[in-house]
Amino acid sequence: MSKAESSFVPEGASVPVSPCPSWCVTRHGVHLGEENWVHTGEPLLVADGIPAYVVMSVDPETGTSDGPYVLIGAREYTLSEARHVGSALMAAVDSACATPAGGPECE
Ligand SMILES: [Zn+2]
What are the contacts of 72-76 at 24+ separation with CB within 8 A?
A: 72/46
Q: How far apart are the CA of 40 and the centre of ligand 1, in A?
A: 6
Q: How far apart are the CA of 29 and the centre of ligand 1, in A?
A: 10
Task: Compute, in degrees rounded to 10, the torsion defined by CA atoms 75, 79, 82, 88.
Answer: -150
Q: How far apart are the CA of 88 and the centre of ligand 1, in A?
A: 30
Q: Which of 13-22, 30-39, 40-49 has the lowest mean pLDDT?
A: 13-22
Q: How far apart are the CA of 45 and the centre of ligand 1, in A?
A: 20
Kindly report, residue by residue over 62-98, the tens digit of the pLDDT: 989 999 999 998 899 999 999 999 999 999 999 989 8
- The 3-state DSSP class for residue 97 equals helix
Report the predicted TM-score, pTM, of the whole model to 2 decimal places: 0.68
Q: How far apart are the CA of 78 and the centre of ligand 1, in A?
A: 19
